Amino acid sequence: MTDGEKPAEPKGEKSLRDEFVDRRPTINDVARLTGVSKKTVSRVINKSPAVKENTREEILRVMHEIGYAPDPQARGLAFRRSFLIGMIYDNPNPQYVVNMQQGLLDGMRGTGFELVVHPCDRASETFLVDVRNFVERQKLYGVILTPSVSEDERVPPILRQIGCEFIRIASVSLDEPEHMIVSHDHLGGAAAGRHLAGLGHTRIGFISGRDSFRSSHERRRGLEEALVERGLTLDEDLVASGAYTFESGFECALDLLQRPKSPTAIFAANDEMAAGVLQAARTLDIRVPDALSVVGYDNFQLAERLWPRLTTVHTPTREIGRRASTKLINPVPAVEVEREDPRALPSLVIRDTTAPPI
C-alpha cells in the first residue's frame, strides 16, 4: 500500500476501478484498500486532526482513485442531521426568490450541502406545524428564512427547541447577530430620498408596502431621514398604503395624483408598485419624468423593461443569499466583528423616470 505499488501493479489498479462500475465505493472499500479501519477513514472524511499525515494522504489518494464520496444519507443518519438546507419563504416576487436561491447556492457550492425549497403561508392555520414538520422530518442541517417569514417571531423559538440552525434575512436586525443577515433598507430609502430632494422636489409622495412588512417601514424611514437632511418632512397627505403589488401601486398612484395638492415625485416601496405608478400616470396623461418623477425599490429586471426605464434602488439579493448560506455553514466566531461590506448594501440606480420638477 505504498507508492511502489502504482508501477508494480498496473493491472491491479485497472481492476480496482472496474470494481466500481455498477456499485459505488463505500467507506469499507476505502478502509480495505488502504489497510486501515473504517474509523480512521471516517476521521479523514471529517477532517479530524488525529490522523498521521502519511495515513491521511494514502487514504485521500485511494478515495480519489476509486472516486469515493461519502453517502450523505448514511452520514446524516449517524449524525442525526441531514446535509440539507431549507429555504423557507413567502415572498411572492419570482425574481426575488430566484436571486435568493442563486445566492444561497453560491454559498453552498462545493460544500456537499443541497438546497430544499419550501414556500409557506404565514396566514395558514397549519403554518407553524408545517414548518416544524418540514425541519424535523428532514432533520435539516439549517434553515434560511427570508422576508416576511423571517420577521415572524413565532418561528425562531421552534427552531431553537428542535436544535436547527437558522439565519434570518431581514431589512433590520431582529435577532442575535449570528442569526441575522441585514439588508439595511433604510439606506436605500435614504438614497432615493436624497436623489429626489436633490433634484429639487419638495412634494414627494410615498407608497408603502403592507404594514406587516418591515422593509416598507425601513424604506420609509430612510426617505424621511433624507428629507430631514434637506429641511423637508414627509407630508402624510402624500402617503398611500400599498401592498407591494402592481395593482396596489396603480391604485395608490391614481389616488395620490388626483389629490388637491398632488406630489411631483413618488417613491414606491418596490418596483412592482412603481410599475403601477407608471401605468397610472399614463392613464391620467401625466408625463414621466417631466411632470412626475418615480423611484422604485429592488432593481429587478422589470425596471429595465419598463418605459421610461425605472430609477430604483438596487438590492444585492444574490450577494445577501450567498452570505446567508455561507454564514449558516461556517458560523462566524462571536469575537469576529462582521464588517459591513458595501457589496451587500443597497444602492441607487438612476435611469429615466426622475428629473427636476417643472
Task: Name the site residues for DNA (rule: CB under 7 A).
Answer: 24, 26-28, 36-43, 45-46, 49-56, 68-71, 74-75, 77-80
Query: C-beta of 158: minimal distance to DNA in Å?
Result: 20
Shortest reach from residue 334's CB to DNA, in Å: 23
Q: From a copy of itself, DNA, none, which one binds at residue 45 (CB under 5 to 8 Å depending on kind)?
A: DNA
Residue 114 C-alpha cell reads as 443541497
Judged by CB, which is closer to DNA: 40, or 270?
A: 40
Shortest reach from residue 254's CB to a copy of itself, in Å: 15
In angstroms, the Cα distances linking 210 to 148, 223, 241, 323 are: 10, 17, 7, 27
Nearer CB in complex with DNA: 32/210: 32
Distance of CA 233 to the CA centre of its chain: 33
Nearest distance from residue 330's CB to a copy of itself, in Å? 21
| Smallest distance from DNA to CB 265, Å | 58
173 binds, among DNA, a copy of itself, none (CB under 5 to 8 A by kind): none
Residue closer to DNA (CB basis): 50 or 337: 50
Residue 40 binding partner per list DNA, a copy of itself, none, with a CB distance cut-off of 5 to 8 Å that depends on partner kind: DNA
Q: Which is nearer to a copy of itself, 241 or 279 (CB)?
A: 279
Cα–Cα distance for residue pair 259/256, rounded to 1 Å: 5
1/8 with CB nearer DNA: 1
- Minimum Å gap between C-beta 22 and a copy of itself is 9
Q: Give the three cell numbers for residue 335.
A: 469575537
Q: What is the largest CA-CA distance in the chain?
A: 93
Nearer to DNA, 21 or 358 (CB): 21
Distance, in Å, from the CA atom of 13 to the CA atom of 225, rounded to the nearest integer, reads 70
In 3D space, the residue among 227, 154, 213 whose CA is nearest the CA of residue 185 turns out to be 213
For residues 76 and 356, which CB has a smaller minimum distance to a copy of itself in the complex?
A: 76
| Residues 171, 193: Cα–Cα separation, whole Å | 17
Residue 207 contact among DNA, a copy of itself, none, beta carbon within 5 to 8 Å by kind: none
Whole-angstrom CA distances from 70 to 25, 57, 76, 119 are 9, 17, 10, 30
CB of 138 to DNA, least distance (A): 13
CA distance 277 to 308: 12
For residue 275, the partner it binds in a copy of itself, DNA, none, with Cβ less than 5 to 8 A by kind, is a copy of itself
Give the cell for residue 79: 449524525
| Contacts to a copy of itself by CB under 8 A | 24, 69, 71-74, 76-77, 82, 84, 94-95, 97-99, 101-102, 105, 112, 114-119, 133, 136-139, 246, 272, 275, 278-279, 282, 301-302, 304-307
The C-alpha atoms of residue 296 and residue 308 are separated, in whole angstroms, by 12
Q: How far is the CB of 197 from a copy of itself (least distance, A)?
A: 28
For the chain, counts of helices (H) and of strands (E):
15, 11
DSSP annotation of 310 reads P
Measured between alpha carbons, how far is 189 from 344 in angstroms, rounded to an integer? 15
Q: CA-CA distance, 115 to 102, in Å (whole number)?
A: 10
- The closest alpha carbon to 101, from 155, 169, 25, belongs to 169
